[in-house]
Structure 1
Amino acid sequence: MSNPLAKLLRVIPAGTHLVIGGTMVLGAASYIQISIAGHALASSPRAAVSELWSLVMTVSLGLFFPIEQELTRVVAARAVRGEGVAPVLRRAALLTLGLLVLIGGALALGAGPLANTFFGGDRTLVWAFAGSLVGMALVYLTRGILAGLGLFNSYGISLALDGGLRIVLAGGLFLAGSHSAVAYGLVLAAAPLFAMLCTLPATLRGCRPGPLMPWNELFQNMTMMITASVLAQVVVNAAVITTALVHTDTRVTFALLSAGVLCRIPLFVFGSLQPTLMTGLSTTATTGDRAGFRKMLVQTCAVIVGLGLAGAIPAVFIGSWLIHTFLGAPNVLGSMDFFWFSAGTMCYMLAMVLGQALMALGRHRWQMLAWLLGTAALVAVTLVPGLVTTRVEVAYAFGSLVTAAVMLLTLVQGVTKRSSGPATNGAAAASALENV
């Protein structure tokens, strides 16, 4: 446990080091971008950019990342059968564009209220929000194809380009003396779009003609995946969004975003290893390797606890100084604020691991139910009377804990043995669950 990252690298399949490096660049870009904006902008526009960042992460990861995940599954299955995946790209592109049209219409109708609630009345930030969703949606589309085809070099390059350009653009704005919230917001649109365009040739080269794809092949688990993903993003970003809705002090909003970003460093480390972990869990579940499935799950959870503690200790003791020095946040939070954020992050990572185990066993419905219960717990705690910052922090921790606990009970007690899923047959799933 003295080297949690090394332990986790031994757990996951080999061959994806460029993906890990690219994800770490993208994770670092989030800190650098927020830090630069924190030092360049005044209080109100800084809070608006904080809200924009949280909303972009919530909506894009909630709606479009599940498309990447399901594309990876469908494309990989076709590649094994020797079938071309061009029809898959066409169907997924239509789905993505349809969602973007719906979101664009909703933003056009609600631009005024949205701007007044989150962006201090600045409607141009609403369109920066829309542009960011377009860039994120398109880059997730190409990454799903690349991952399914096993083109992990291009996948890792996409991540690195996205993160690298965020750093370059934000740094360029700072050096140019820009104090525009819109300019810093548009970085979230330009970077993923550029990464998508750079890796589009590799994506198209891999898309050979193939048999027509029925819609149900793509939609098989999509509704449950999107629901679970949206709820997961609500849980992890609710503190900043809720504070903006009920609190008028923009300094507190930016401080909460900064504290959340600091305490999520272990989450970024885990996120860089998440795609290959899913591959390992799916393989052991499909082959009925009960011991391998249990070992991988237990080892990963143990390492997650180690990562959580490694991030929590410095955050609790010097977190306030860190976010003030490096992110430009005001000194309005104490050690207990960082404790609750760190505890929430550890429980959230455990929920992500256990959720992947459920998906590997084809139990998407139970994963969705767990996030529903966790979100309900978060809302319940948020509504309890008291200091708003404490409520949203404890709500994050409690909501994540409830989600992880429900998933763990589902696995341990074998609640899902009565149903079968597409990822594995009933006998293999039952065998895996009996020994988790």
Structure 2
Amino acid sequence: MTARALGPERYAPLATFWSLLFVAGPGFFVPLEQEVGRALAARRARGDGGRPLVLRAAAVGGALAVCLIIATVPAAGPLARRLFAGDSLLVVALMAGLAVYALHFLSRGTLSGNGRFRLYGFLIGIEGVLRLVFCVALAVAGVKAPGMFGLSLVLGSLLAIALVLRGRRGLLIPGPPARWSELSSALGYLLAASVCVQLLLSVGPVAVQLLATATQRAAAGQFLTARVIAFMPIFLFQAVQAPLLPKLSGLLAAGRRDDFRRMVLRLLAGVVLLGACAVTATALAGPWASRLLFGSGYSVTSFDFGILSASCVTFMVAQVLTSVLIAFRCYARMATGWLIGAVVFVGVTAAGTQLFVRVELGLLGGSVGSALVMACLLGGVTRRHTTPTDAPTSEATSRPRTA
């Protein structure tokens, strides 16, 4: 809808804004959601109220959001010029989005930790509906300013929070004081890994916009629409991935090593097999699907679709290995894998010349690098591991948020 309403050139800065917000927002605040949900659930099981914990988490999330916004202020000019085609309203939307995302993911963690899963799903659903309604209204009104669409996306999230939480009782029950350790001693590793995960997942259009010449002003929008199609398997993978970590942790805790190994190998084989089919289908049908969904101005080549799809498959392999390492409580090894993948992405992209191909190969190289590093680190763990006494429940980096 938005891509057709704005056209390729005007859509490019909005695509860049959305990708950048998705790197920073979910990247920094998803671990907070998951740790709040885990800690609140543990308190509920003990019969303790969670208000002190939520307030402490709110302080962490608020401080992080303020730091990110402060860091954005001096970069506002360069951001507007280099990434947003001079639209300073998108910079305002970015800063507002950081604050709203902090509240959004804290709210999600509070809902899940209190067992309010119906409200959790309602929050996600109404957020999407409100964004769609606002974008349709702007398109019907003939608005052509990308910044207005950016603000509408942020406003949709804020209103969804207000509608879902208004008048809800029992979410902030008084309880014993919360210690910092309740939010997890591994939060730093989870945060670093989460940012790198979202970087490899969403940074492509930002890199394209930075590297594009004056004659390639529509490139970021074209790249984002191609990435949306090529990364469709990620959405399907979420259904498999959601119960994966609890299942793996349970097998380890029960000492069922053979079942654990068979489950991981079957899942990896399935991802590779289905991924090969997805790469072939996307390379063949991707250009046609792009023209059908977004219009003729957004089409890219079959070669581009093939590389993007391959990067999606290797990204899913890395996600499986992430769940395995978290099940073993090897947070540092997991974070190291994603950090090296991010470094590989930067290096490969910087070394290339052709705009789309250099970014696509960077994404592919980053995902392959992360998967290989985690596979190597996992080998050492499985040889010497002893069954953990306390299986983790955090899924901060094993469930990436897709734009």
TM-score computed with the length of structure 2 as normaliser: 0.89
Corresponding residue to 2:291 among 309, 318, 324: 324
1:369 to 324, 329, 336: 336
Q: What are the superposed Cα offsets for residues 367-423 of structure 1, whole Å, 9 maximum, x if unpaired?
A: 100011111221221122431211110111111011112222322342684799784
Alignment CA distance shift 1:221-1:416 (3 Å):
farther
CA distance in 2 between partners of 1:170 and 1:325 (Å): 20
- The equivalent of 1:39 in structure 2 is 4
Q: Provide Cα deviations, 1:172-228, integer angstroms capped at 9, x if missing partner.
A: 222222222122112321222222223325875233222111112215111111111
Q: Which moved more, 1:236-245 or 1:61-70?
A: 236-245
Partner Cα separation in structure 2 for residue 170 and residue 193 of structure 1: 15
Return the offset for 1:167.
Answer: 2.0
2:317 equivalent in structure 1: 350
Aligned counterpart for 2:86 among listed residues 121, 134, 137: 121
Q: Secondary structure at the match of 2:297?
A: coil
Structure 1 residue 74 corresponds to structure 2 residue 39: yes
Structure 1 residue 388 corresponds to structure 2 residue 335:
no
Structure 1: unaligned runs, 5 residues or longer:
1-35, 426-436
Instruction: Kindly report which structure 2 residues correspond to 1:32-111, keeping only aligned pairs within 5 A, or say none.
Output: 36-111=1-76
- Cα distance, 1:273 vs structure 2: 4.8
**Residue 231 (structure 1) shift:** 0.9
Taking the TM superposition and a 5 Å limit, the aligned residue runs for 1:12-411 are 36-201=1-166, 205-248=170-213, 249-328=216-295, 330=297, 333-411=300-378
Alignment deviations for residues 59-114 of structure 1 (CA, whole Å, 9 cap, x no partner): 01110111111112222222222222111111111111111211222222221111
Q: Could you tell me how far apart the structure 2 residues matched to 1:422 and 1:173 are?
A: 54
Shift of 1:304: 2.9
Percentage of identical aligned residues: 31
How far does residue 159 in structure 1 lie from its aligned partner after superposition?
1.4
What CA distance in whole angstroms lies between the structure 1 residues aligned with 2:193 and 2:160?
Answer: 27
- After the TM superposition, which of the residue ranges 389-398 and 74-83 deviates more from structure 2? 74-83
Q: What SS does the aligned partner of 1:259 have? A: helix
Equivalent position amino acid for 1:396 in 2: L
Deviation at 1:38, TM superposition (A): 1.3
CA distance in 1, matches of 2:379, 2:176: 40
Shift of 1:265: 0.9
Matched length: 390
CA contact (8 A) 2:315 2:367 kept: yes
Q: Distance in 2 between matches of 1:115 and 1:244?
A: 12
Cα drift, residue 155 of structure 1: 1.4
Q: What amino acid maps onto 1:365 in structure 2? A: A
The 2-side partners of 1:216 and 1:203 are apart by: 28
Report the CA distance shift for 1:403/1:339 in structure 2 as closer, same or farther (over 3 A): same
Q: CA RMSD in A?
A: 2.4
CA drift at 1:321: 2.1
In the aligned structure 1, how far is the partner of 2:95 from the partner of 2:339? 27
User: Using a 3 Å threshold, how does the CA distance of structure 1 residues 245 and 67 change in structure 2: closer, same or farther?
Assistant: same
Q: Is this contact kept in 1: 2:10–2:218, CA < 8 A?
A: no
Cα distance in 2 for partners of 1:188, 1:177 equals 17
- The 1:129–1:313 alpha-carbon spacing in structure 2 relative to 1, beyond 3 Å, is same
Please report how far the alpha carbon of residue 148 of structure 1 lies from its aligned counterpart in structure 2 after TM superposition.
Answer: 2.4
Does the Cα contact within 8 Å between 1:40 and 1:179 map onto a contact in 2?
Answer: yes
Give 3-state SS (helix, strand or coil) of 1:64's partner. Answer: helix
Q: Measured at CA, do residues 104 and 377 of structure 1 come closer, stay the same or move farther in structure 2, by a change above 3 Å?
A: closer
Equivalence for 1:27? none
CA distance in 1, matches of 2:103, 2:57: 10
Per-residue CA deviations over 1:251-271 (Å, capped at 9, x if unaligned) read 222111111111111112223
Which stretch has the larger CA shift, 364-373 or 407-416? 407-416
What CA distance in whole angstroms lies between the structure 2 residues aligned with 1:163 and 1:273?
22
CA contact (8 A) 1:362 1:422 kept: no
Is contact 1:316-1:336 (8 Å) kept?
A: yes
Shift of 1:242: 1.3
Deviates more, 1:356-365 or 1:200-209: 200-209
Check the 8 A contact 2:221/2:298 in 1, yes or no. Answer: no
Distance 1:297 1:201, change over 3 A: farther
How far apart in 2 are the matches of 1:275 and 1:159?
16
Letter in structure 1 aligned against 2:4? H
TM-score between the two structures when normalised by the length of structure 1: 0.83
Deviates more, 1:264-273 or 1:354-363: 264-273
Cα distance change on mapping 1:329 and 1:159 into 2, 3 Å: farther
Residues 187-196 or 289-298, more deviating: 289-298
Q: In structure 2, give the amino acid aligned to 1:154.
A: L
CA distance in 1, matches of 2:296, 2:152: 20
Letter in 1 for 2:308: F
Residue 44 (structure 1) shift: 3.4
